[in-house]
Amino acid sequence: MRFTGKTCIVTGGGSGIGRATALRMASEGGRLIVADLDLQSAQATVDQIHAAGGEGIAAACDVGDSAEVQAVVAAAVKSYGSVDVVVNDAAMMTFTPIVDIAEADFFKVIATNLGSVFLFAKYGVPHMNAGGAIVNVSSVHAHRTTENVVPYAASKGAIEAFTRGLSIELAARKIRVNAVAPGAVDTPMLWNNPNVKSGAEKVTGAIGKPEDLAAAICFIASSDAAFVNGATLLVDGGRLAQL
């Protein structure tokens, strides 16, 4: 029960890795704020938490929108007093070459994937307790990538640099900041990816379950990882190791 008495915000908690993480944290005693663009799916996660005897609330939030992020932090503080864990999981992809992509679409990916990490740090950290942890969800695309996903790959690379830098800034507050970089994981985001559908991005190797990532994220967010800081943990079943 590594999260007993801890308040945990999980973005993208209505599906896939975010949902599995929220369920795992709640099963280990965490009080969850499940934030998602899709309130119904966030509420469905919270319904599962409650059915299992856990504690949590759902929040509608576009993580790229400052006012909505601030509202989620305020809801966490109002309900539970402070924040211990933030998991920045929500993200989006585009599949358009850079010369063709609309400026607005490029900046939307950056705002959703990277801006959200900044906003939850800026507005969440002042309410976080010593011993707290931020876990940012990156991707193997930060390291090796495929065509037409430059905004996504760039946002994920930047998340890892942001993670390192913020870990230094927050060390004095005793708040750890780390990232996980998933490989292919069995979620809607994987199977809706046109590059995966076309075979341009090959996922013939190991495919992880959302619960595999939840286990890694919960480890990093917990005091089991007290000496892990500023790191990115690759959780890809060995995919990047093989040339």
* Cβ 186 to ligand NAD shortest distance, Å: 7
* Cβ 55 to ligand NAD shortest distance, Å: 21
Q: Taking CA 231 as the corner, what is the angle to CA 229 and CA 123, rounded to the nearest 5 degrees?
A: 65
Known catalytic residue: 152?
Answer: yes
Pick from 9, 10, 11, 149: which binds ligand NAD (CB under 6 A)? 11
* Cβ 146 to ligand NAD shortest distance, Å: 12
* Interface with ligand NAD: number of residues (CB under 6 A): 29
Q: For tokens 């944290």, what's the residue?
A: 25
- Among 216, 139, 219, 137, CA closest to 183: 139
Q: How far apart are CA 30 and CA 8, in angstroms?
A: 6
Stretch that binds ligand NAD, among 74-82, 99-107, 170-178, 186-194 (CB under 6 A): 186-194
21-50 footprint of ligand NAD as x/- string (CB under 6 A): ---------------xxx--x---------
Residues across the chain: 243
> Which entry of 3, 120, 152, 162 is annotated as an active-site residue?
152
* Cβ 167 to ligand NAD shortest distance, Å: 19
Q: How far apart are CA 120 and CA 126, in angstroms?
A: 10
Does residue 16 touch ligand NAD according to CB under 6 A?
Answer: yes
- Closer to ligand NAD at the Cβ: 64 or 132? 64
- Closer to ligand NAD at the Cβ: 60 or 129? 60
Interface residues with ligand NAD (CB under 6 A)?
11-12, 14-18, 36-38, 41, 61-64, 89-92, 112, 137, 139, 182, 184-185, 187-190
Q: Which residues are catalytic, by number?
A: 152
